[in-house]
């Protein structure tokens, strides 16, 4: 009994440590404030934190340890679309997937992790541009020590906000700099249909059209 309790305590401690490290990675706080202010990327960690708080011990393990997710981690150019009604736990499942992808990355700097949680009650987290900015910020801070990709983007658009086309191109360059990149996009259906949905789906199609073997995508809606 004591051994089981000790294992549970160690597992909780490991989960807490993993979550903290993952959040530090996603916040990319080491990127200069000047570049961050110009990029105006929304904080993707808020949605992740909210999903983690709703999660009970063991939630989503059936998925994270199952063959579908394992194949997604290993198969070149893998893509999963998780579909479910509102409130069925998609965000919680995505948070579990993010943490297990992070564990898969452990110690390998050639693997990138990024995520974005769309939010219907926050306009700054609904559109294609917001998603791209968040992904570019997270991955650029992981791929090199001098943030060359962000610096070049910043230098090209000193007097204006970079358009989505430039953000997509920058993201593509960053993805190519890694061996593998795992991206999780949660609740795509919270991107309003009348404002952003078509552009979002078009962007997603473009990412898949890259046919990059190292790009692994999970989308939920």
Give me the pLDDT at residue 29, please. 63
Q: Which of 92, 103, 119, 87 is nearest to 25 (CA)?
A: 103
CA terminus-to-terminus distance, the chain: 41
pLDDT tens by residue, 19-35: 777 777 777 666 677 77
Q: Is residue 47 within 8 Å of 125, Cβ to Cβ? A: yes
Give me the pLDDT at residue 136, please. 94
Domain count, the chain: 1
Q: Examine the pLDDT at 147 and tell me if it is beyond 80.
A: no
Summary count for the chain: helices (H), strands (E): 10, 4
Domain that holds residue 47: 2-220
Q: Is residue 48 within 8 Å of 95, Cβ to Cβ? A: yes
* Total residue count of the chain as it appears in this document: 221
pLDDT tens by residue, 59-72: 788 999 999 999 99
| Residue 47 dihedral angles phi and psi, to the nearest 5° | -65, -40
Instruction: Give the H or E element holding residue 4.
Output: helix 2-27
DSSP string, 5-73: HHHHHHHHHHHHHHHHHHHHHHHTTTS-HHHHHHHT---THHHHHHHHHHPPTTTTHHHHTSHHHHHHH
Pairing mode, strands 180-186 and 79-82? unpaired
- Identify the CATH number of the domain in which residue 136 sits: 3.40.50
More confident residue, 36 or 93: 93
Give me the pLDDT at residue 204, please. 94
Distance CA 155, CA 176 (A): 21
Q: Tokens in use for 141?
A: 């801070």
Q: Tokens in use for 165?
A: 């086309």
The three-class DSSP label of residue 171 is helix
Give me the pLDDT at residue 6, please. 44
pLDDT tens by residue, 149-190: 888 888 888 878 899 999 999 999 999 999 999 999 998 877
Q: Is residue 166 within 8 Å of 153, Cβ to Cβ? A: yes
Confidence of residue 96 (pLDDT cuts 50, 70, 90): very high
Tell me the C-alpha to C-alpha distance, in Å, between residue 113 and each of 10, 74, 133, 174.
24, 14, 14, 12
Confidence of residue 17 (pLDDT cuts 50, 70, 90): low
């Amino acid at each position: 009994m004591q051994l089981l309790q000790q294992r549970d305590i160690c597992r909780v401690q490991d989960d807490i440590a993993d979550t903290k490290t993952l959040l530090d990675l996603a916040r990319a706080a080491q990127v200069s404030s000047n570049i961050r202010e110009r990029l105006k990327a929304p904080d993707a960690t808020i949605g992740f934190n909210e999903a983690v708080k709703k999660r009970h011990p063991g939630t989503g393990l059936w998925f994270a340890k199952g063959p579908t997710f394992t194949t997604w981690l290993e198969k070149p150019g893998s893509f999963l679309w998780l579909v479910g009604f509102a409130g069925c736990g998609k965000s919680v499942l995505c948070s579990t997937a993010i943490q297990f992808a992070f564990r898969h990355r452990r110690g390998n700097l050639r693997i990138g992790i990024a995520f974005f949680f769309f939010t219907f009650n926050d306009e700054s987290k609904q559109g294609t541009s917001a998603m791209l900015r968040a992904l570019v910020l997270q991955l650029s801070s992981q791929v090199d020590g001098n943030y060359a990709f962000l610096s070049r983007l910043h230098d090209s658009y000193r007097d204006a906000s970079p358009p989505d086309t430039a953000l997509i191109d920058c993201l593509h360059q960053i993805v190519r700099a890694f061996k593998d990149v795992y991206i999780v996009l949660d609740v795509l259906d919270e991107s309003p249909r009348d404002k952003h949905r078509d552009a979002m789906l078009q962007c997603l199609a473009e990412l898949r059209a890259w046919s990059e073997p190292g790009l692994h995508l999970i989308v939920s809606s």
